[in-house]
């Protein structure tokens, strides 16, 4: 009988620890940051994605405070989607983050520069925070020489 009581006590302790871990994890998660957009294959300032060709297979990085927080690769239409935990990207809410495409533009058009990067700040209204998902988009990519 003592062994059954000990087994029940151990199971109860394991269940309690698991429940505490679940509550702790739920309290530390602020939601998810989702950034979607299209990368243009062009140079200039605030490049219009509607009039520029798309940049397929480009690596897009979300950099906050100079550190890479998350990344994605564009599809054949130049579209990308980055998802990250808000605890890793709260700086996006205060404008300390930017999207950076270091993939050389010459890869999408041989007439474009071999050096430089496309960079965009983020935009999106706070009203887009639905069910723990905060949605942002590029404010407009601009070309920067390296």
CATH at residue 92: 2.60.40
Q: Are residues 85 and 140 in the same domain?
A: yes
Predicted local confidence at residue 118, as pLDDT:
97
* Owning domain of residue 77: 31-144
Which has the minimum average pLDDT: 10-19, 97-106, 108-117, 121-130? 10-19
Q: Are residues 15 and 44 in the same domain?
A: no
Q: Are residues 100 and 42 in the same domain?
A: yes
Residues 42-55 pLDDT 10s? 999 989 999 999 99
Q: Are residues 55 and 127 in the same domain?
A: yes
The pTM for the full model equals 0.74
Q: Are residues 23 and 44 in the same domain?
A: no
Task: List the beta bridge partners of residue 121.
Answer: 98
Report CA-CA distances (Å) from 34 to 43, 55, 91, 97, 136. Answer: 26, 20, 14, 13, 6
Report CA-CA distances (Å) from 30 to 22, 64, 91. Answer: 14, 17, 13
């Amino acid at each position: 009988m003592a062994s059954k009581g000990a087994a029940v006590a151990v199971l109860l302790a394991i269940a309690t620890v698991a429940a505490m871990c679940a509550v702790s994890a739920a309290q530390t998660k602020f939601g998810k940051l989702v950034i979607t957009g299209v990368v243009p294959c062009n140079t200039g300032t605030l490049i219009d994605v509607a009039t520029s060709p798309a940049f397929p297979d480009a690596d897009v990085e979300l950099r906050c405070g100079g550190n890479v927080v998350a990344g994605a690769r564009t599809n054949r239409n130049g579209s990308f989607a980055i998802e990250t935990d808000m605890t890793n990207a709260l700086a996006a809410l205060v404008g300390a983050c930017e999207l950076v495409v270091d993939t050389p533009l010459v890869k999408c058009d041989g007439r474009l520069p071999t050096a430089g990067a496309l960079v965009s700040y983020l935009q999106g209204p706070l009203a887009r925070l639905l069910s723990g998902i905060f949605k942002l988009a590029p404010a407009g990519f601009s070309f920067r020489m390296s």
